Amino acid sequence: MALKLPIFMDSQSTTPVDPRVLEAMIPYFTHKFGHPASRNHPFGWEAEAAVDRARGAVAGLIGARDPKELVFTSGGTESINLALKGVAEMYREKGNHIVTTIIEQRAGLDVCKRLERQGLEVTYVPVGADGLVDPETLRAALTDKTILISVMLANNEIGTVQDAAAIGKLAKEKGIVFHTDATQAVGKVPVDVEAMGIDLLSCTSHMLYGPKGVGALYVRRKNPRVRLAPMIDGGGHERGMRSGTVPVPLTVGFAAAAEICREVMPEESRRLAGLGDRLRDAFLSKIDEAYLNGHPERRLPHNLNISFAYVEGESVLMGLNKEVALSSGSACTSATLEPSYVISALGVDSELAHSSIRFGLHRFSTEEEVDFVGRRTVEVVTRLREMSPLYELAKEGVDLKTIKW
């Protein structure tokens, strides 16, 4: 069967809706259209029951004990905003200090910058060359005014998966709320808020083959009970934490996606890891000075981030963009020409950071697609290097750092 072009390999930005998810959603757009807060007639009862089932399905995927700990939002960005701003306001009498990492996605970093402008103090801890944050580095950053530790579970660019359990243990020891941005991790790798000691967890539907426009924030109710100041007022929906009509069809889709992920995750992860290894080997076996970014083992199975020295990442994308959908960084920052701040945080120099490409596999990726992308990427990188005087000088043994331009 002929390949259908272009091939989608940007699954860290979004994922296609699984047909089974769409099928589950359709009735709630048509004859099951009630408002879940309308509790005096069957239409409302039916909608409320669907939302309750959805809450339970998402709770089950992340190991939450009580479905009521899930607050539905419009997506991951809102969930992160509600977590960070909600804690900052609710716990301001206890302290004004937040600890996070320098490789959080923009939704987290930009909220922290806003909170700093409002008078809070934020410490941005570094990560190692593999993208992992050392829990002892976090410990050293804590003060008696620290009210929140926020560390993303899996990075959206390099795929490194953090040791959430160690961070959760530290947070519990110090009596500090622990939030994790798990938008990339949920549905892809096992997540257990109880075992990991997570108090707040942000996730979103469209990253696990569900619809766009709906996400969730897990808010722990016991040991400790976490309280949040709401960002949106009016109506008291979602236990007062997020007012607004809950989009029933979207929550139903979120639930269906969560249930499918919970069922297929072990097998799917193995398959995607195998495809990722196949793609990586296609690059590293045929392109010299190609480097894997992020931890080689503690990583998302579908993520591959490679730096191709002596070429511009944007040039590689331009050479492939009619055939393959890729990114040189996160969807939140790909409009800029700056090198990825995540890659730079690993200690990679600016030139190499500019050469990084992110490959994202997904549920419907095939071996044929992987082989095509591998072959075409090698061709494009080889052609660009043939036009590069820097690559030619480097191959002649010239130390480019000693050249005065």
Concerning whether 332 is annotated as a catalytic residue, the answer is: yes
Cα distances (angstroms) measured from residue 351 to each of 32, 123, 265, 270, 385 = 55, 27, 37, 33, 14
Position 356 pLDDT exceeds 70: yes
pTM above 0.85, yes or no: yes
pLDDT exceeds cutoff 80 at 389:
no
Q: Is the pLDDT of residue 399 over 80?
A: no
pLDDT attached to residue 235 = 77
Tokens in use for 378?
């090698």
Least confident of 150-159, 249-258, 318-327, 384-393: 384-393
Query: What gap in Å lies between CA 225 and CA 12, rounded to an integer?
Result: 32
Q: What is the reported pLDDT for 397?
A: 63
The three-state (H, E, C) secondary structure of the chain, written as one string: CCCCCCEECECCCCCCCCHHHHHHHHHHHCCCCCCCCCCCCHHHHHHHHHHHHHHHHHHHHHCCCCHHHEEEECCHHHHHHHHHHHHHHHCCCCCCEEEEECCCCHHHHHHHHHHHHCCCEEEEECCCCCCCCCHHHHHHHCCCCEEEEECCCECCCCCEECCHHHHHHHHHHHCCEEEEECCCCECCECCCCCCCCCCEEEEEHHHHCCCCCCEEEEECCCCCCCCCCCCCCCCCCHHHCCCCCCCHHHHHHHHHHHHHHHHHHHHHHHHHHHHHHHHHHHHHCCCCCEEECCCCCCECCCEEEEEECCCCHHHHHHHHCCCEECECCCCCCCCCCCCCHHHHHCCCCHHHHCCEEEEECCCCCCHHHHHHHHHHHHHHHHHHHHCCHHHHHHHCCCCHHHCCC
pLDDT of residue 336: 53
Query: For all residues of the chain together, what is the average pLDDT?
Result: 94
Average pLDDT (115-139) is 98
pLDDT at 330: 45
| Average pLDDT value for residue range 266-275 | 98
Mean of pLDDT values over 386-405: 69
Position 405 pLDDT exceeds 90:
no
The catalytic residue among 112, 203, 261, 332 is: 332
Q: Peptide bond before 27: cis, by omega within 30 degrees of 0?
A: no
Give every CB contact of residue 123 below 8 A, 6+ residues apart in sequence.
97, 98, 99, 100, 141
State the Cα–Cα distance between residues 404 and 297, nearest whole angstrom.
39
| 176-194 pLDDT per residue, tens | 999 999 999 999 999 999 9
Instruction: Supply the pLDDT for residue 400.
Output: 58
Q: How confident is the model at residue 332 (pLDDT cuts 50, 70, 90)?
A: very low
Q: What pLDDT is recorded for position 328? A: 84
